[in-house]
């Protein structure tokens, strides 16, 4: 039995008040905050680390992928703007299908975009409690080096990735499969001093890894090897391997995953030095500050997106965006090598032909039972199959921008989020260059 202790109640100063409060400064949170501010709302963004971007900055994610459906650009709004601006410093051609990025360019660009929009950002600030008033959030308790303080707002957006704010507010959620197993995370790493032998920029090292597995001399028994991605003349980032068995809501397990991830990074770097052309004098220069969690809480919304929606290419009357990334469920166990090897084959089988996509309904970001809370990014309302598609960066930014736009429209018109006119929201999103295709096959779904 776990010991418990009661903490005394406390009065806190209301240090900040806003129309829209966004919790979590990853890709979804930045899109949400920028959209809210551009649409006239006084906006506050709370981020627990010292920079914005999440996985595309401190998480060292090497690429932003699948912004298109093979024919049309799906992530047309703030996601496209971020890529266009961040890639300018990289001397790389823009490729909206698979755009390699550099984390420092992302940090600088997001700082600029947030500042230009007028977003107030509080770094190194953690939310520890949601104070409820009936079925609405009244205030947040925040912790900073300066102490504890309160933040109030009209509408709140959970872009924490783990659904932390929603859980603090009492929202229902699902976790993992029927047995509670979740996809395994990765800790990305940066390698420099590479003499690239050719123009290849993505998936470097995959051939050599397959050969090592076949010869039974790979340093790690890993059958789902994503690869290494070039992001400068002599450097790049590895999205390499998995930290199997990690429990994302267990503080000890998650802490151990960081340690194990750094050790794996050393072993992969050694493999590249010894086996991959051009890497003989390379060196591991940095491991990510943020663990690449692929799956944790999935918050229950007014609609739960499902595998059937994906397979049917379903669109909805309340679409707020469209997406087309394949089903991409990574294995949970290091012993399940068959599932590891099957991941990319399943992606190929379920991938849409060019030009096909599915819709994302507004109801999937409306948190059930809480009137002034939206959720965006990988913790939105979906089953784990659909979550495995929508969880990547463009999907996070599409839903983040829609959430920020809706929250601002609601706050500025004193309209409840659920009473917002969906056609007005869709028109606003389209006017801001987003792809909304609500008329296709919606059938009032």
CA 438/CA 317 separation, integer angstroms: 5
The pLDDT confidence band at residue 185, using thresholds 50, 70 and 90, is very high
**Cα–Cα separations (whole angstroms), residue 90 to 27, 75, 196:** 19, 21, 16
User: Residue 211: inside a domain, yes or no?
Assistant: yes
The pLDDT confidence band at residue 369, using thresholds 50, 70 and 90, is very high
Q: Write out the DSSP string of 48-87.
A: SSSSSBGGGTTT---EEE--BSSSSBS--SHHHHHHHHHG
CA 116/CA 137 separation, integer angstroms: 28
CA 304/CA 7 separation, integer angstroms: 36
> Which structural domain, as residue segments, surrounds residue 240?
189-287
pLDDT of 7 above 50: yes
pLDDT of residue 2: 75
200: left (phi over 0), alpha (psi -120 to 50) or beta: beta
Q: How many domains does the chain divide into?
A: 2
pLDDT of residue 317: 96
Q: How far is CA 286 from the centre of its chain?
A: 21
User: CB–CB of 292/182 below 8 Å?
Assistant: no
Q: How far is CA 335 from the centre of its chain?
A: 27
The pLDDT confidence band at residue 443, using thresholds 50, 70 and 90, is very low
Same domain, 171 and 33: yes
Segments of 24-162 assigned E as strands? 43-46, 63-65, 98-100, 120-122, 126-133, 136-144, 147-158
158 pairs with which residues across the strands?
A: 23, 375
Q: How far is CA 444 from the centre of its chain?
A: 29
* Average of per-residue pLDDT across 278-303: 98
pLDDT of residue 226: 87
pLDDT of residue 441: 42
Same domain, 163 and 217: no
Same domain, 114 and 227: no
User: Residue 6: inside a domain, yes or no?
Assistant: no
User: Residue 2: inside a domain, yes or no?
Assistant: no
User: Residue 339: inside a domain, yes or no?
Assistant: yes
Same domain, 197 and 139: no
CA 58/CA 110 separation, integer angstroms: 13
Helix axes 393-413, 78-86, angle to 10 degrees: 130
pLDDT of 340 above 80: no
* Average of per-residue pLDDT across 155-165: 99
Same domain, 357 and 306: yes
pLDDT of 27 above 90: yes
SS3 state at 137? strand
- The token pair at 192 is 């420099």
pLDDT of residue 438: 60
User: Residue 445: inside a domain, yes or no?
Assistant: no
Same domain, 142 and 241: no
Same domain, 254 and 196: yes
Q: Which long-range contacts (CB under 8 A, 24 or more apart) does 101-108 make?
A: 101/56, 101/61, 101/62, 101/63, 101/64, 101/231, 102/231, 102/232, 103/53, 103/56, 103/57, 103/58, 103/60, 103/237, 104/57, 106/53, 106/56, 106/57, 106/82, 107/51, 107/52, 107/53, 107/57
User: Residue 41: inside a domain, yes or no?
Assistant: yes
The pLDDT confidence band at residue 442, using thresholds 50, 70 and 90, is very low
* Average of per-residue pLDDT across 385-402: 98
Same domain, 420 and 306: yes
Mean pLDDT of the chain: 95
Q: Mean pLDDT check: name the lowest of 1-5, 254-258, 420-424.
A: 1-5
Same domain, 379 and 411: yes
pLDDT tens string 102-127: 999 999 999 999 999 999 999 999 99
Query: Which of 287, 315, 335 marks a domain boundary?
Result: 287
**Domain CATH code at residue 64:** 3.50.50.60
User: CB–CB of 391/305 below 8 Å?
Assistant: no
Same domain, 244 and 375: no
pLDDT tens string 248-272: 999 999 999 999 999 999 999 999 9
Choose between 441 and 92: higher pLDDT. 92
CA 228/CA 297 separation, integer angstroms: 29
Same domain, 264 and 409: no
CA 121/CA 333 separation, integer angstroms: 38
User: Residue 440: inside a domain, yes or no?
Assistant: no
pLDDT tens string 130-146: 999 999 999 999 999 99
pLDDT of 439 above 70: no
Same domain, 304 and 349: yes
User: Residue 238: inside a domain, yes or no?
Assistant: yes
Query: Which of 255, 287, 319 marks a domain boundary?
Result: 287
Give the DSSP H or E segment for 173: strand 173-175
């Amino acid at each position: 039995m776990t010991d418990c202790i009661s903490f005394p109640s406390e009065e806190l100063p209301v240090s900040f008040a806003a129309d829209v409060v966004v919790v979590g400064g990853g890709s979804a949170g930045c899109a949400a905050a920028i959209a809210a501010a551009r649409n006239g709302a006084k906006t506050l963004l709370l981020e627990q680390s010292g920079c914005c971007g999440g996985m595309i900055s401190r998480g060292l994610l090497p690429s932003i992928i699948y912004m298109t459906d093979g024919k049309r650009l799906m992530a047309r709004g703030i996601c496209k703007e971020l890529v266009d601006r961040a890639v300018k410093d990289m001397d790389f051609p823009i490729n909206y299908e698979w755009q390699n990025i550099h984390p420092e360019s992302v940090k600088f660009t997001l700082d600029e975009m947030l500042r230009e929009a007028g977003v107030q950002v509080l770094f190194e600030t953690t939310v520890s409690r949601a104070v409820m008033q009936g079925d609405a959030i009244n205030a947040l308790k925040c912790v900073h080096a300066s102490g504890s303080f309160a933040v109030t707002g009209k509408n709140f957006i959970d872009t924490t990735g783990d659904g932390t704010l929603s859980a603090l507010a009492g929202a229902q959620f699902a976790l993992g499969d029927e047995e509670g197993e979740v996809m395994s995370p990765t800790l990305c790493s940066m390698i420099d001093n590479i003499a690239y032998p050719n123009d290849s920029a993505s998936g470097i090292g995959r051939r050599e890894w397959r050969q090592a597995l076949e010869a039974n001399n790979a340093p790690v028994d890993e059958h789902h090897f994503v690869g290494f991605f070039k992001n400068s003349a002599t450097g790049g980032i590895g999205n390499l391997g998995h930290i199997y068995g990690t429990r994302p809501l267990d503080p000890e397990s998650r802490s151990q995953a960081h340690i194990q991830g750094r050790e794996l990074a050393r072993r992969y770097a050694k493999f590249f030095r010894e086996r991959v052309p051009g890497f003989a004098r390379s060196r591991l220069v940095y491991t990510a500050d943020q663990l690449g969690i692929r799956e944790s809480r999935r918050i229950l919304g007014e609609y739960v997106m499902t595998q059937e929606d994906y397979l049917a290419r379903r669109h909805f009357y309340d679409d707020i965006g469209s997406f087309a990334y394949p089903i991409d469920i990574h294995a949970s166990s290091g012993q399940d090598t068959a599932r590891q090897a099957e991941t990319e084959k399943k992606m190929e089988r379920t991938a849409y032909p060019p030009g096909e996509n599915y819709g994302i309904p507004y109801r999937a970001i409306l948190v059930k039972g809480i009137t002034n809370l939206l959720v965006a990014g990988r913790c939105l309302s979906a089953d784990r199959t659909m979550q495995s598609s929508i969880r990547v960066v463009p999907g996070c930014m599409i839903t983040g921008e829609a959430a920020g736009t809706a929250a601002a429209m609601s706050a500025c018109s004193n309209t409840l989020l659920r009473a917002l006119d969906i056609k007005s929201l869709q028109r606003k999103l389209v006017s801001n260059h987003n792809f909304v295709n609500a008329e296709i096959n919606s059938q009032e779904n």
